Amino acid sequence: MKKHEIQLKKTHWSQLIALLLVFTVALGGSSCKSKKKIASEKAAIELANKIAQSKASLVDLLRDDNPKTYEGKVAELNRIKDLQLRDPEIEQLIDQVDAKLRAEYQVILKKQAEEAERQKTEAIRLKKQAELDNINAHFISVAEAANTMEANLRIQQALTYFASPEVPVLLIINIYGDNQKDYDKPTTIGHYLNYLKDIRTYNRQIESVKFDVNHKVIEIELIKK
């Protein structure tokens, strides 16, 4: 084979290899661009889904009949905030939900205050009722004493709740009109307790009682059961 023919063949193969290299590089570059495009499209779809789901959740949080607790609503709102979605409608809905939850929290605080006041009032009522029940129990114990000695002992115990043996006892006969009352002949707690000792029965209950600064009874009203 002649020398120039060999040289031509070498040149041909060199060009062919160069073309293959160019094609391979071009194909690789095209494949890389395709992967980037797919990844970008996937990210866009995921973002769109997050936005759509977040909007639906925020609209649901604005419903007056949403069954979630206040704490559950706050947790859901914070979850959406953490996504940091830069969407004008999302941001507007977040502001609306924030305002709604602030109003709900004020309602919760008001209910808590009302419940605390109710419990306080009930505790005072129960304490007062316990005091009245205790005084009544002492009246019953005097009336039901087995003998005079026991009755006298119980009278002394009962008197410890009163400012003195001279505390007035008002025996109500009748209540009419605007809490108008008719009374029996007035007596004192000392006389009344001895009266119970003698008749050995107690058929009244406490209508009202007044205390001094030392929480000793200074006046008591009794009415028949």
Burial of 111 per CB tally in 10 Å (0-12, 13-18, 19+):
exposed
The two most distant CA atoms of the chain are separated, in Å, by 156
Contacts of 201 (CB under 8 A, 6+ apart): 143
User: What tens digit of pLDDT does each residue of 80-136 get?
Assistant: 999 998 899 999 999 999 999 999 999 999 999 999 999 999 999 999 999 999 999
Per cent of the chain over pLDDT 70 is 85
- Give the domain ranges of the chain: 3-86, 129-224
Confidence of residue 141 (pLDDT cuts 50, 70, 90): very high
User: What tens digit of pLDDT does each residue of 14-58 get?
Assistant: 555 555 555 554 555 555 568 787 777 787 788 889 899 999 999
CATH architecture group of domain 129-224: Roll (3.10)
Q: Is the pLDDT of residue 220 over 50?
A: yes
Average pLDDT for 53-69: 94
